[in-house]
Amino acid sequence: MASRRRTLLVSLLVSSLAAVVLPCVRARAAPMVLGGPIDEVHVLVAPKVPRAGEPVRVLVGRLGDLGGSRIVIEGADGPIQPERLLGGEGPTAILAAWTPPVTAGPLTVRVLDAGGRELASASTTVVAADAPRPSPYARTDADLWPIEAEWDARHETLFSAWIATMFHVVPGAHASWNPLHQATRDQARNVLYDYLALGEDSGRRGRRLMLLTDCADTLYALRAYFAWKMRLPFLAQWCSRGTARDGPTCRTTVTNQRSAGRWGRDEVIRFMRFVSWLGQTVVHAGTARTLPDDPESDFYPVALERASLRPGTVYVDAAGHVLMVSQWASPAPGRFGALYAIDGHPDTSVTHKRFTQSWFGFLPVTTDGFKAFRPPIVDRGVVRPMTDDEIRVRPWLPPPSLEQAAMSPERFYARMAAIQNPVALDVRDAIRGAVTRLHRAVVMRADAVRALPPERWQTIPERPFSGIGADPAWHRIDPMRRELEMLVAIEEARLLAWRVTHEPGLVRGQHDVDAVRVAMAAALRAERVSYRRSDGSEIELRLDAIVEREIPLTYGFHPGDCPEARWGARGDERATCRTRVELASQRTLRRVLTEVMRRRMDPSGL
């Protein structure tokens, strides 16, 4: 009975923390059916006009597989051997290459399959080093940027490939960027680095792009960045926050056809100001909580299958969080298959997340789940969103689907588990994966505790929670989400033995629950983490000790507490604690938790 009460208490508090952590233009039906192969190979050579003495970057994308394919580059002086190569598996398969500085003259890129057959090619001319560069100054009576192309198969595939390339990590590794422009300014990641040759990513301080984003801002900033560089239409709805059950109400549409006059003459500064205004004024996490049958929203729901969940797809947690799919990793010996996403935070950092229940919350409402950007289209000179019918006749776009809206959380997570690991796992891999996820969550929590000393958070706001739009001071306490991630990872590790013996198909073969528990305990004892006490000394803890401290850890997430209290210390380990939260703050926290639990149980309040 005590064990059942303990599990219920932790479950309630984990659910509570999850909630803390976070006129449209009418369109017409498509007049024709569009055909064409969806597995076409697309090649992008960057920058737009290569220059002698500078490197060239090549990006290849395909909706499908590129296994065994290779990139062959030939310049004016003969074959060019890339300095760096990158490959990634589908649903959007990628190949990317970075060359040394090239010489002036013709340059050809060919993509060959394993048998030497040419799949695609691209040709360009490398201009002389002293050739005139484009001027960053544009007309102020024109649009924010010109529209020279459309969101066709090429650009949708390349957008997905660009996201997969820029945020690629070795499966199991962790990466983060703070802020987002740390990634766009890294030419080893960003294939579109200085693509327009305006010094937009490398220029002097003051006009080099700054992308200070959080949550939904990150998604829109990346979509706008790609649209600006490729000269594509861009669109965002100006919406209310709405609720998890009813979705937002949209008032108007914002596009790149806005007059450029108010943003200045310099195209780089103009774009930077536009993205900043967009994130601060127009878009937010509620914008993505669209109803599944809303034909004019910025996003539309897709089917729950791997082919539809390509990099660049958005995941919406109706409780108030938004992520973007960045990578897939198929299962391999000793490794789970996994879907990865990037996650923007209120402190402007962007981190890498593996699909788990803690990071991809799914409520029994219809506004959450995986969604794709609804592409904008130019209709009689005006940018508007595509209709569902127009999307369905474009085979390179994942079709709209109401499948997720009819799913329970249990069915949703079971389907995602099957997509990521279609073949049952070895029990040792299952244990190793659970321990690895817990270790990573604890390390990230330790980093967050260390980054926010308790003296900065002696009191908490009297009204810290107001649905999806939290008080800014409270919202910036991003460790709240780290607490949730750690607690859910503890629960997953604790319950693995039960799942192995009660969920057919999770692992291969039959296993005794006690034997699995013994193996899990041994794996937890082998991993260690450390935290810094108030006096600066380091304390090392085994993961099994972390699991045993689940209850004090659940109550120890107040940022104003000393590190010892936050890590559930007792006895001599706690003796160095110098800071405790005031009783008033503790009472406020209890009121917050009560309100959060009420809202979590009734999604209409979110």
pLDDT digits (tens, 9 = 90+) for 507-531: 777 788 888 889 999 999 999 999 9
Task: Please report which confidence band the pLDDT of residue 32 belongs to, taking 50, 70 and 90 as the band edges.
Answer: very low
Give the separation between CA 528 and CA 446, rounded to whole angstroms.
12
Rounded mean pLDDT, 360-369: 87
Does residue 78 register a pLDDT over 50?
Answer: yes
Residue 275 in tokens: 């993205």
What percentage of the chain exceeds 70 in pLDDT? 81
More confident residue, 492 or 253: 253
Residue 197 in tokens: 């040759």
The sign of the dihedral angle between the CA atoms of 402, 217, 168, 160 is: positive
Does residue 97 register a pLDDT over 90?
Answer: yes
More confident residue, 12 or 268: 268
**3-class DSSP state of 513:** helix
More confident residue, 487 or 435: 435
Rounded mean pLDDT, 319-348: 85
The sign of the dihedral angle between the CA atoms of 170, 172, 173, 179 is: positive
Strand order in the sheet with 70-75: 78-80, 70-75, 105-112, 118-126
Residue 572 in tokens: 């001599």
Nearest to 329 by CA among 534, 535, 91: 91
More confident residue, 586 or 58: 58
- Judged by average pLDDT, the poorest of 68-72, 386-390, 508-512, 591-595 is 591-595
Does residue 418 register a pLDDT over 50?
Answer: yes
Give every CB contact of residue 601 below 8 A, 6+ residues apart in sequence.
none
The pLDDT score that the predictor gives to residue 1 is 42
This prediction's pTM: 0.77
- Provide the mean pLDDT of the chain: 82
Rounded mean pLDDT, 347-368: 85
- Judged by average pLDDT, the poorest of 112-121, 377-386, 502-511 is 502-511
Rounded mean pLDDT, 78-82: 96
Does residue 319 register a pLDDT over 60?
Answer: yes
Rounded mean pLDDT, 203-212: 84
The pLDDT score that the predictor gives to residue 575 is 92
The pLDDT score that the predictor gives to residue 475 is 44
Does residue 17 register a pLDDT over 90?
Answer: no
In the chain the first and final C-alpha atoms are separated, in Å, by: 33
The pLDDT score that the predictor gives to residue 598 is 43
Give, in degrees to the nearest 5, the angle at Cα 479 between 465 and 345.
80
Residue range 137-168, pLDDT digits in tens? 866 667 899 999 999 999 999 999 999 999 99
- Residue-by-residue DSSP string for 9-60: HHHHHHHHHHHHT--PPP----SS-----SS--EEEEESSS-BTTS--EEEE
Task: Please report which confidence band the pLDDT of residue 479 belongs to, taking 50, 70 and 90 as the band edges.
Answer: low
Rounded mean pLDDT, 247-255: 88
Residue range 551-600, pLDDT digits in tens? 788 766 677 778 888 898 989 999 998 876 655 555 565 555 444 444 43
The pLDDT score that the predictor gives to residue 511 is 82
Nearest to 218 by CA among 310, 89, 352: 352
Which 8-state DSSP code applies to residue 407?
A: -
Does residue 465 register a pLDDT over 50?
Answer: no
Helices (H), 469-555: 472-475, 479-502, 513-525, 543-548, 550-555
